[in-house]
Chains A and B, each alone.
Chain A
Amino acid sequence: MVKEILVGDNPFIGVSHLSQEKAREEAREATLERRVAVLQAAVEAGGTGFTFSTHPANLELLTYMHDNHMSILKKLNYYILTPYAQHYVRLANVQGTPVMVRSLLASMVYRKTAVIDLAITLLTLDLNTLAYLLIEAQIAPYLKVLPKQNIKAILLHETVTDLATAYNLVYLFKDLDHQLRQKIGVPLGLETRNLPFLYHTLRHANYIPQYIMTPLNPLGYQMAPDRYTVERTVRKTGNETRYVAISILAAGAIKPLRAVKYLASYKHSIYAVVTASSKAYRIKSNIHCLLSLIDKNNR
């Protein structure tokens, strides 16, 4: 049963899966005031959470909310998506991958004891801990501004999830999940655009994360290998993990009403749906539409 309606951050950070022209337009529109207004409108309309990448624009927004709108901040749950992959792609383009890896390691030393952790990790080539230190460094500034009990999951960005799955590195997920739960008290979630492949690999390794974020729309957009296989996986496994449905409007190619009609047949298998806009009025109307997916007793 759908329990949460989350606000997504794509328009806040210049990401559009429809076109880059639209992304630039939205990024120009997404001033701090407008981003705050979107979150306010979302809360008023019945939105329950915010899922966002560890992008500087989101840190700016959440820090501002922390200082000026704590009451709104407290009303939302948080699903943090990390790492912000495009940042590292750009670094690799500018510096080359080996230099990027080294500067990444350097960026992890944000607290004094991290130097020791990192040194031990590198000397012992303990890559599980290295992965944890990387994630910890990414989310650390957000942990300072968000109400800790409202952080529900740390989700691995789809590029990392899908690449790690391609190499069958499920043990890294397992260990990361364990370390995050132990040290921060938050479970790991996985974002993917290749759900059946991921699920098959996870099940084989006997590990199912608490949350899986994946595109779900009637066009089969970003649903690899195809819509039907993804739908079948969601239906079959909705009781084993909490699905967070993204790209529900197929990047704006379909109307919210069509998306709601489509998602209604999966509402017993989905835990949350994500909607995004750079405009307060639109987020309100999207959420109003999506509320029909939530059981009235849960509202």
Chain B
Amino acid sequence: MNLCTLLPEAVKYEKFLSLDLKVAIVGFGKMGILHSGILNMLKPGTIRTVVDRDRLLIAGAARVLRNIKFYRSLEKMLSLEQPDVVYVTTPTQTHYLILCTLLENDTKNIFVEKPPTLNSEQLADLVKRLSPSHITMVGLQKRYALPFRHAKLLLESRALGEVTSIKACIKSGDIRTPTSRFDLIGRGVLLDLGIHLIDLLEWMVGIKEISEVTARSIYTKVDDYVNAVLRTNRGAEARVEVTWSSPEHRIPETLIQIAGEDGTLMVTEDCLKVSLKNPNLLLQGQREARLCKPHYYQNTPPVNLADPEYTLENLHFLRCIHEREQPETSLPRTLKAMQVIDKMYEVAQRG
């Protein structure tokens, strides 16, 4: 398997950078700083404008980053700067209104961090407002992690045969002290972290049905731990576990184990472990493989800041802007995962 198959974004990526794009960041927190850092390293001077409401942050940042214009008002920035691309990296509850404003101002290229909205209703409303010329992308960076992409290729080639069962979890140790940060949102780990897992499952095997969901709070007033049983499009059972209160997890980890009639696979952001009945070209003619980050990320990505998938998702977005294609995680393509999440919350409440 060559790099083009697994990582088309990294092939001749320089041409995607040839456009002289004016990029604005809305929300200069952790993710805003990360994306702007990656973009500036891919092409120095890409970030021209930042919008944030926090006075202290803006005062400090404006003093240091003298080549960037800072605004506290989104509308003012849009009218004065008219950016080609806007990254929305504010808290989730603000996404919908910001995205509405961007679409009203006819911003053509929009990246929004996950989750794109609080619920699928908001997202469906945004999708209705899109025109074919809009390029939108949701920051579901796990989709750009190479072990997941490799697993998807194996599933698509039916290397595992008919899938019989799935066990999947996403866990982090972020919330292990009481916090009221999520009270306003009214939703917890399933929306915030679980969206990665639901999106991956929807992408890999498709989710048809939600059988059971139990949710409980530990440190917040919302869901800190969720357990669910889902059914895939072809009827296999998928057991799902989501938590952000795992003391064992220093950083978030996604684990998907898939059993099929002709083999099994286990995949995380870091590793892919496969065992098949028959040799497969996607495993270089082998039946078994255990591949980790150092096997996948050799001489790539061209910028290494935080995890490699962040650079890959940015390259993917830039490529889509250049080629005028819809990203793999565009707003419309994320709708199904958001609908599954809504349904899971409904089932959990009923239960």
Interface residues of A (CB under 8 A from B): 14-15, 17-21, 23-24, 27, 86, 89-90, 92-98, 101-102, 125, 127, 130, 159, 162-163, 165-169, 172, 193-194, 197, 217, 219-228, 250-254
Contacts of B305 in A (CB 8 A): 159, 162-163, 166, 193-194
Q: Which of the residues B29, B172, B249, B294 comes within 8 Å of A251, measured between beta carbons? A: B294
| Given known A-B contacts A94-B177, A220-B299, A226-B300, A127 and B64 have beta carbons under 8 A apart | yes
Verify B41–A98 contact, CB threshold 8 A. no
A251: which B residues are within 8 A, CB to CB?
292-294
Select which of B36, B56, B271 is within 8 A of A98 by beta carbon. Answer: B56
Is B204 on the interface with A (CB-CB < 8 A)? no
A19 → chain B closest CB, angstroms: 4
The verdict on B186 contacting chain A, using a C-beta distance below 8 Å, is no
* Contact flag A127-B63 (CB < 8 Å), given A219-B298, A221-B297: yes
Query: Contact at B63–A167, with CB atoms within 8 Å?
Result: no
Known: A94-B175, A194-B303, A224-B304. A23 touches B250 (CB 8 A): yes
A223 near B29: Cβ-Cβ < 8 Å: no
Residue from A23, A93, A221 in contact with B298 in the complex, judged by beta carbons closer than 8 Å: A221
Cβ A95 vs Cβ B44 within 8 A: no
B286-301 Cβ-contact flags toward A at 8 Å (1 or 0):
0000001111011111
Chain B window 232-260, contacts with chain A (Cβ cutoff 8 Å), 1 for yes, 0 for no: 00000000000000001111010000000
In the bound complex, CA of A228 to CA of B302 (Å): 12
Question: Which residues of B sit under 8 angstroms from A94, Cβ to Cβ?
Answer: 174-175, 177, 179, 181
Instruction: Give 10 nearest A-B pairs by CB, closest first.
Output: A97-B29, A253-B294, A224-B304, A193-B304, A226-B299, A225-B302, A220-B299, A166-B37, A166-B40, A19-B270
Select from chain B the residue with minimum beta-carbon distance to A201. Answer: B44
Q: Closest CB-CB distance, A248 to chain B, in whole Å?
A: 12
- B141 CB to closest chain A CB (Å) equals 14
Q: Which of A19, A21, A92, A194 contacts B41 (CB 8 A)?
A: A194
A-B contacts counted at CB < 8 A amount to 139
Interface residues of B in 25-39 (CB under 8 A from A): 28-30, 33-34, 36-38
Is B37 touching A18 in the complex (CB atoms < 8 A)? no
Give the number of chain B interface residues (Cβ < 8 Å). 51
Q: Which residue of B has the minimal Cβ distance to A24? A: B248
CA distance A220 to B343 in the complex (A): 44
In the bound complex, what is the Cα–Cα distance between A24 and B271 (angstroms)?
Answer: 15
Q: Which residues of B contact A193 (CB under 8 A)?
A: 304-305
A17–B250 Cα distance when bound, in Å, is 13
Is the Cβ of A166 less than 8 Å from the Cβ of B181?
no
Quick check: A166 and B297 within 8 Å, CB to CB?
Answer: no
Q: A198 to B36: give the CA distance in the assembly, Å.
A: 16
Contacts of B249 in A (CB 8 A): 20, 24
Q: Return the chain A residue nearest B39 by Cβ.
A: A166
A190 to chain B, nearest CB (A): 14
Q: Is B59 an interface residue (CB 8 A)?
A: yes
Query: By the criterion CB–CB under 8 Å, are A101 and B56 in contact?
Result: yes
Q: List 18 A-B contacts (CB under 8 A).
A: A18-B294, A21-B271, A89-B30, A94-B179, A96-B91, A97-B30, A101-B57, A127-B64, A166-B37, A166-B305, A167-B65, A168-B67, A169-B65, A197-B303, A226-B300, A226-B302, A250-B294, A253-B295
Q: Given A18-B294, A94-B177, 15 other A-B contacts at CB below 8 A?
A: A20-B269, A21-B271, A27-B250, A90-B173, A95-B181, A96-B181, A102-B56, A159-B305, A166-B41, A217-B294, A221-B294, A224-B304, A227-B298, A228-B299, A253-B294
The closest CB in chain A to the CB of B171 belongs to: A20
A-side contacts of B253, CB under 8 Å: 20
Question: B54–A194 contact, CB under 8 A?
Answer: no
The listed residue with most B CB atoms (<10 A of its CB), out of A98, A167, A224, is A167
Q: Tell me if A224 and B303 are in contact (CB < 8 A).
A: yes
CB–CB A98/B65 < 8 A? no
> How far does the alpha carbon of A94 sit from the alpha carbon of B294 in the complex, in Å?
31
- Nearest neighbor of A14 in chain B, beta-carbon distance: B250
B285 within 8 A of A: no
Say if the beta carbon of B132 comes within 8 Å of chain A. no
Question: Which residues does chain A contribute within 8 Å of B275, judged by CB atoms?
Answer: none
Question: Known contacts A24-B248, A93-B174, A101-B56: does B37 contact A125 (CB below 8 Å)?
Answer: no
Nearest-neighbour CB distance to chain A for B122, whole angstroms, equals 21
CA–CA, A96 and B67, complex, Å: 26
- In the assembled complex, the Cα of A125 lies from the Cα of B65 at a distance in Å of 13
Query: Which residue of chain B lies nearest to A28 when distances are taken between CB atoms in the complex?
Result: B248
Complex contact A19–B57 (CB within 8 A): no
Given A18-B293, A96-B181, verify A125-B30 contact (CB < 8 Å): no
Q: Mark B176-192, 1 if CB is under 8 A from A, else 0.
A: 01010100000000000
In the assembly, what is the distance between CA of A86 and CA of B251, in Å?
8
Q: How far is the CA of A169 from the CA of B302 in the complex (A)?
A: 21
